Copies of this chain bind each other. A is one copy, B any other.
């Protein structure tokens, strides 16, 4: 039903995605009395490419995942994931409550064999392009085995999305030397280095944004703090730039002249381009769009779902996990 902004944004994003990707079909899941007017407003009719599937309830953004799972069996989120499970659709894209989405995904779709914990993974801009980072908050206490599984899942995603045969993997730590860090990251480093993955060792927080590696692995607590920190710094820089360009007549003139450059910078770093986090490790494709995503951002999340469908990401994770765990002598 569209996160913070409701169906108007979801429907506008759906229209944009249909225009951009002529091989996709969309099913809007939610209350028909809200979705039908939103479709009409954009001049859209239900047809072979876009349709409404009724769901009577909505999970609130602050609702407990356990309560949502137990009580709201006809929520748009639950119905959409049920449709993935039934094979009626190939992926679910939601801007709803992250915890509830993950809990529902796990309950309905189950995790892939060998995956104990699904992880949230997103692309982040870097000086040289982008990097994939996981986990961004689904798992607050991770073992070395979980981090190993994240490494495999991140590698598969980077292979699929970036067409990169051997993406490099870094493990987030507080120093690049092998003696640094807690026992969990040291053990995880050992485990990942024993796989056939292209493991580059430990990376530090600043390495995420230099593009030193293609995939950064962290536990969900650290990953979430890092992601939010980055958002905070970006917002602060933006704010300081703005207020300084608005200082007086001269600076306002400078701003006008610098505008094309500043717009280009804004475009390069535009978080909307990076909207759409994958809930990796589920037996199906579920993409989380930011709650406050606008039309462009949500359309990007739909694009990511389409790419993951094209590359059968869950199936590839299952295969690769077997392969990597067998390489270390373990059973998958």
Interface residues of A (CB under 8 A from B): 62, 64, 125-127, 137, 140-141, 172, 174, 177, 179, 181-182, 204-210, 218, 220-222, 224-237, 239-241, 244-245, 247, 250-251, 253-255, 257-258, 260-261, 264-265, 268-269
Given A174-B137, A244-B261: A233 and B235 interface contact (C-beta under 8 Å): no
CB neighbours of A126 from chain B (8 A): 236
**Distance between A206 CB and nearest chain B CB, rounded to angstroms:** 3
With A and B bound together, what is the CA distance between A208 and B218 in angstroms? Answer: 20
B222 touches A209 (CB 8 A): no
Contact status B261-A251, CB under 8 Å: yes
With a cutoff of 8 Å between Cβ atoms, the chain B residues found around residue A141 in the complex are: 182
Q: Which of B221, B231, B239, B258 contacts A174 (CB 8 A)?
A: B221
**B261 pairs with A254, CB closer than 8 A:** yes
CB distance from A222 to the nearest CB of B (A): 5
Q: Who on chain B is nearest to A64 by CB?
A: B179
Contact of A140 among B125, B127, B181, B265 (CB under 8 A): B181
Q: List 20 A-B contacts (CB under 8 A).
A: A125-B236, A137-B174, A174-B221, A174-B228, A182-B221, A204-B224, A204-B225, A205-B224, A205-B225, A205-B232, A206-B235, A208-B232, A225-B226, A226-B226, A226-B229, A230-B233, A237-B269, A253-B257, A257-B257, A258-B261
Alpha-carbon gap, A224 to B229, bound state (A): 11
- Residues on the B chain within 8 Å of A225, using CB: 172, 174, 204-205, 218, 222, 225-226
B220, A174: Cβ atoms under 8 Å? yes
Which among A141, A232, A244 has the greatest number of chain B C-beta atoms within 10 A? A232
A173 to chain B, nearest CB (A): 8
A261-B254 Cα distance, complex, nearest whole Å: 8
Closest to A245 in B: B261
Complex Cα spacing A64 to B254, Å: 51
Given known pairs A207-B232, A257-B257, A258-B254, the reply for A221 and B181 (CB within 8 Å) is: yes
Find out whether the CB atom of A239 lies under 8 angstroms from the CB atom of B127: yes
Q: Is the Cβ of A240 less than 8 Å from the Cβ of B268?
A: yes
Partner of A231 from the list B125, B206, B234 (CB cut-off 8 Å) is: B206
Given A254-B261, A257-B254, A257-B257 in contact, is the A182-B244 Cβ separation under 8 Å? no
Alpha-carbon distance between A247 and B29 when the two chains are bound, in angstroms: 46
Contact residues in B for A236 (Cβ distance below 8 Å) = 125-127, 209-210, 269
Candidates B64, B205, B268; contact of A229 at CB < 8 Å: B205
Residues of B within 8 A of A240 (CB): 127, 265, 268-269
Q: Shortest beta-carbon distance, A165 to chain B, in Å?
A: 26
CB distance from A120 to the nearest CB of B (A): 11
- Smallest Cβ distance from A177 to chain B, in angstroms? 7
Q: Are B224 and A221 in contact (CB under 8 A)?
A: no
Enumerate chain B residues within 8 angstroms of A232, measured Cβ to Cβ.
Answer: 205-210, 230
Q: Which residues of B contact A258 (CB under 8 A)?
A: 245, 254-255, 257-258, 261
Contacting residues, chain B, for A140 (C-beta < 8 A): 174, 181-182
- Contact partners of A229 in chain B: CB under 8 A: 205-206, 208-209, 226, 229-230, 233
